Amino acid sequence: MADTNETILAVRGLKVNFSTPDGTVDAVKGIDLDVRTGETLAVVGESGSGKSQTMMGIMGLLAKNGTVTGSARYRGQELVGLSPKALNGVRGSKITMIFQEPMTSLDPLYTIGRQIAEPIVHHRGGTFKQARARVLELLELVGIPEPGRRIDSYPHELSGGQRQRVMIAMALANEPDLLIADEPTTALDVTIQAQILDLLKSLQKRFGMAIVLITHDLGIVKHFAERVAVMRRGEVVEQGTTADIFERPQADYTKMLLAAEPSGRKAAPADNAPIILEGRDVCVDYAIGGGFFTRGNAVFRAVDKVTLRLREGQTIGVVGESGSGKSTLGRALLRLLPSSGYYRFGTTDISGFDRGQMRPLRRALQLVFQDPYGSLSPRRTVGEIITEGLHVHEPALSRADRDRRAIEALKEVGLDPASRNRYPHEFSGGQRQRIAIARAMILKPKVVILDEPTSALDRSVQGQVIELLRDLQRSHGLSYIFISHDLSVVKAMSDYVIVMKNGKIVEEGDTDGIFDAPREPYTRTLIGAAFNV
Amino acid sequence: MISFILRRLASAVPTLFIVVTISFFLMRFAPGGPFNLERPLPPQTMANLMATYQLDQPLWRQYVHYLSNAVTGDFGPSYIYKDNNVAQLIGKGLPYSIELGLYALLFAVIGGVIAGTIAALRQNSILDFTIMSVSTLGVTVPNFVVGPVLTLVFAIGLAWLPAGGWGDGSMRYLILPMIALALPQLAVFARLTRGSMIEALHTDHIRTAKAYGLPARTVVVTHAMRGAMLPVVSYLAPCAAALLTGSAVVETIFTIPGVGRYFVLGAINRDYTLVMGTVILVAIFVIVFNLLVDILYGLLDPRVRHD
C-alpha cells in the first residue's frame, strides 16, 4: 500500500438529520473520519448507528427529508453542499459504491453489460460499443465465468454473488480512488461472502484504491481492515488500528460488541437420553414447472434421505447455505409439509399421521421463525398473540388463567408482563424475537425447532437471545433443532451439528469434532469462511 | 414469440364464443323486442315481421342460426336501420371512430405520462397538487358535461373551432371531440404514471444510478421511467379498446358518424343483431390490444419475455 500517509477523504463535524412528522432525528451527530490512500477503514456499528447515513450524506444520496452539514473533503474538494451536478464529477469515477442488496441494486430492465458501461460512457465519453471491450475486461477481472456470454445477461439471470461481482465491476470501471462498500456481503451466504471479500482485497492490492467498509459484523473486519471506527447512535465512540480495537478496546461499547460474539459451549446430553424426535430417510420433493392445469413434470428434491435423531435435552444445529434444504427439513420433521420417510415422536410412530392426528401433538412440537417482524400479527396485542395456542390446546382455561400464563411466559423470556397489552410494532427486533419465543414456551413444549431465530438481530442482542434460549433449555429440559447459516451461533448453541448441502447431509457429528476437525472440504469451506475470512 | 402469438390467438376463439353466448341470451331475456313501438303494430304485421327475421323460432334455433352465420362474417340485418346489415353499419362507422380514438389515445398517453412524470418529480409541490386536482376532476366530471362546455367556450363563445360534425375530416373538427374523449383517460394515465414513477424513483437501482454520477436526465428517463411505464402499458389495452370503438356520448354531442352511437341506440331499440355486432367488435379489440400490450410488455421487461 503505497503512501498511506496522504488523506484522501477528510470528514469533519459531519451531521446528518432527517425531518420527520415527529420532529428532527439526528442520525449522525458531528463525526470526524479520515481515509488514507490505499487503506481499508471499517466503519462498524449496529443498526441505527448512522454508519450508512454518514456515507450516503457525503455522496448526496440521502432520502429527500435528510440534510447533511459539516465538511467532507475529497483531496481538498468540499463535497458537502455541492450541487448534484458538481457531485456527479466525483461520484462513480473517483469515489464509487457497492451496496448491501445485490438483488435490487441493479436495474432489472437492462443487461449487466450496459449497466457497467454506463459510468464508463458517462465519465470518460465514447459509445457503449466502444466501452464493451472494457466491460468484458472488468467481468473477467471480477471472476464472472464466460464474460462474453454473461455480458448480455439480465440481473435476474445471475446469482446473488454474481450480481455483487457485477456491482464490483461497475465500481472499478473508472479506477476509483475510494470504494465505499456498504454491507457488501450481508445478504450473501458465508462461502460467497468470503469470496467477495477476497475479491475486494485482491483488487485493492492490484489497483491501490482505498476502501471504506461499512458493516455490523466485527468478524469480517478483523481480517479485512487496517483501521476501525466504531459508531453508536450517530457518534464515533472509538477509532484506531484493527489490532488496537480488537486487543485493547477503550470504549465500553466496543468491549461489549467484542464480547457479544457468541461464546460458550453446550454439553451433550447423556448417551442413554431417550430419543424424543426422529426422522428417518426424510425426503421432500417439489414439483417444478407446470401451470395451473398442467402438472409439472420435473421434481426438485429439497431434502434427500436425511436421518436425524434428537435426544431429550439435546440441541442439534443444522447448518447450510440458502437452498440447502435446512428449513424444509425442519418443517418436514414437524409434519408441516408433504414428505416421505419414517417419523417418530417419543415412542409414537407419526409417519402416517394426518393434520387432525398431529394437532394434539403440536403443543409439544413448536416452531420459532426467523423474522420477528413478519411472524407476529400487527393487529393483535402481545397478550393475544402468545395465548393464541392456549385456546387450541387448553380450551378449558379461564380468561384469568390464560392471563396468568401470559405473565409467566413473558417474565420467563425477560419481558415486562405489562407488555402483553401492547402491539408488536412497539417493540425492538430483539424484543419481538422474545415474544415469538414466549408464544412457543407458553405451551410448555418438549421440542422447539428454531429457524434462524437470531439472524435478523444485531450481535449484542443476538448474544442475549442465545443466553435466553440456553436458560430455557436448562430449566425446562427442552430439545432444540437449531437451524442457522451463522456458524458462530450454532457453535455456541448446539452439542451436535448436521451440515447440509443441496438437500443432503454432508457431514455430522459432535460440535467440537465438526468445528475442530472437519472432515469434508465443504464443511472446511463453511468454517473457514465464517471464522477467519 | 410466433408460437406465443399463435397460442394467444387460438385462445381468443373460446373467449369470443363465451362473450357471444352470454350477450345473446342476456339481450333476449331483457323485456321488449325490436318491434315493440310506442303505438303497437297490428298483430298480423307483427307476426309477419317476426317471421321475416325468424324471431318466432325457438331461442336455441335462433342462437345456432346466429352463430353459424357469424362464423362466416354475416352478423345479420339490423332491425332498425333497415337499409344496412350490421356488418355494413359497423364498416361505415368504424373508420371515423378509429381515427378520432387514435388521436384521443395519443393525446391521453403522451399528456398523461408527461403530467404524471412532472408531478412525481416535484412530489408534494404546488405543481404536483395542481396536476393531481385537475386529474381528479378529469376522472370525475363526465364527458357529457365536458363536451358541451368545450363547445360553449371554444365553438360558440370564442368561435375558434366548429361545434360538431366531421366536416372534411380536418383537425379543426377533431380537436374538441378528441379532448372530450381523451380527458378522463389522460387523468388516469397521469395518476398511474405519478404513482409508479414515485415508486420507481425510490428503488435501490435508482440509488445506484445516482451513486455512479449519471446525469439526472439519464436517471429519470433511462432508468426510472422505463420501469414506471410497466403499469401504464398494462392499462393501455382496455383504454385503447374503449377509445377506438367510439363513445356514444361524445359521438352524439359532436355528431360524429362513428360506431359508438350503435351501442346505445342498439340497446334501447332492442336491435339484437346490432348490439351483438358491437359487442363482438369490442371483444375483438380488447383481445387484440391485450396481445399487443403483452408483446410490448415483453420488450420492456426482460423478466417476462416470451421465448
Confidence tier at B76 by pLDDT (50, 70, 90) = confident
B205–A contact, CB cutoff 8 A: yes
Confidence tier at A15 by pLDDT (50, 70, 90) = very high
CB contact under 8 A, A96 and B301: no
Q: Chain A interface residues facing chain B, Cβ-Cβ under 8 Å?
A: 59-61, 64, 84-85, 87-93, 96-97, 99, 101, 104-110, 118-119, 122-123, 154, 156, 167, 170
Q: In this predicted structure, which of A43-52, A286-295, A341-350, A429-438 has the lowest mean pLDDT?
A: A286-295
**Residue A3 pLDDT > 90:** no
**Residue A517 pLDDT > 70:** yes
Among chain A residues, the shortest Cα distance to B208 is held by A105
**Residue A532 pLDDT > 80:** no
Quote the pLDDT of residue B306: 54
| Residues A382-422 pLDDT 10s | 999 999 989 888 888 899 999 999 999 999 888 888 888 88
Alpha carbon distances (Å) from A102 to A96, A342, B219, B303: 15, 40, 19, 17
Shortest distance, CA A61 to any CA of chain B (angstroms)? 7
Among chain A residues, the shortest Cα distance to B229 is held by A109
Quote the pLDDT of residue A321: 83
CB contact under 8 A, A91 and B210: yes
**Residue B34 pLDDT > 80:** no
The cell for B56 is 318466432
Quote the pLDDT of residue A260: 65
For chain B positions 249-268, those within 8 Å of chain A (CB to CB) are: none
Quote the pLDDT of residue A237: 92
B213–A contact, CB cutoff 8 A: yes
- Strand-pairing partners, residue A286, are A300
Confidence tier at B137 by pLDDT (50, 70, 90) = confident
Interface test with A, best of B123, B196, B206, B212 (most A CBs within 10 A): B212
CB contact under 8 A, B213 and A104: no
Give dist(CA B129, CA A461) in Å, integer: 45
Interface test with B, best of A53, A62, A107, A182 (most B CBs within 10 A): A107
Picking from A180, A515, A158, the residue whose alpha carbon sits closest to that of residue A319 is A515
Quote the pLDDT of residue A295: 52
| Residues A312-371 pLDDT 10s | 999 999 998 877 888 889 989 988 888 899 999 988 898 888 888 888 888 899 988 876
Alpha carbon distances (Å) from A428 to A433, A434, A466: 9, 10, 16
Q: Please give, one letter per residue, the 3-state secondary structure of A274-303.
A: CEEEEEEEEEEEEEECCCCCCCCCEEEEEE
Give dist(CA B177, CA B100) in Å, integer: 8
Confidence tier at A373 by pLDDT (50, 70, 90) = low
- Chain B residue numbers with beta carbons less than 8 Å from the beta carbon of A119 are 212-214
Interface test with A, best of B121, B196, B203, B208 (most A CBs within 10 A): B208
Q: In this predicted structure, which of A283-292, A299-308, B54-63 has the lowest mean pLDDT?
A: A283-292
Q: Other C-beta atoms within 10 Å of B295: how many?
A: 14
**Residue A118 pLDDT > 80:** yes
For chain A, give the mean pLDDT.
Answer: 87
Chain CA centroid to CA A264, Å: 21
Given the DSSP bridges, would you call strands A178-182 and A210-215 parallel, antiparallel or unpaired? parallel
For chain B, give the mean pLDDT.
Answer: 85
B210–A contact, CB cutoff 8 A: yes
B223–A contact, CB cutoff 8 A: yes
CATH code for the structural domain at A311-337+363-531? 3.40.50.300
Amino acid letter, B199: E
Give dist(CA A533, CA A515) in Å, integer: 15
Q: Is A227 helix (H, G, I), strand (E, B) or coil?
A: strand
Q: In this predicted structure, which of A216-220, A292-296, A448-452, B35-39 has the lowest mean pLDDT?
A: A292-296
Give dist(CA A42, CA A23) in Å, integer: 31
Among chain A residues, the shortest Cα distance to B211 is held by A91
**Residue A310 pLDDT > 90:** yes
Among chain B residues, the shortest Cα distance to A55 is held by B211
Quote the pLDDT of residue A4: 52
- Chain B residue numbers with beta carbons less than 8 Å from the beta carbon of A104 are 203-205
Q: In this predicted structure, which of A152-156, B34-38, B246-250, B279-283 has the lowest mean pLDDT?
A: B34-38
Instruction: Compute the count of residue pairs across chains A and B with CB atoms less than 8 Å apart.
Output: 79
Q: In this predicted structure, which of A114-118, B41-45, B296-300 has the lowest mean pLDDT?
A: B41-45
CB contact under 8 A, B213 and A91: yes
Instruction: Specify the fold of B86-304.
Output: MetI-like fold (1.10.3720)
Grid-cell match 396485542, residue found: A381
Alpha helices in chain B (DSSP H): 2-29, 43-52, 59-71, 86-121, 126-140, 143-150, 171-201, 204-211, 216-217, 226-244, 248-253, 260-268, 272-300
CB contact under 8 A, A60 and B208: no
Given the DSSP bridges, would you call strands A340-345 and A348-349 parallel, antiparallel or unpaired? antiparallel
Ordered by start, the domain boundaries in chain A are: 311-337+363-531
**Residue A446 pLDDT > 90:** yes
Give dist(CA B76, CA B34) in Å, integer: 14
| Residues B138-164 pLDDT 10s | 888 888 888 888 888 887 888 787 777
Cα torsion A494, A500, A505, A511 to 10°: value is -20
Quote the pLDDT of residue A261: 67
Quote the pLDDT of residue A123: 92
Quote the pLDDT of residue B106: 95
Backbone angles phi, psi at B269, to 5 degrees: -85, 5
- Strand-pairing partners, residue A301, are A285
Q: Other C-beta atoms within 10 Å of B46: how many?
A: 17
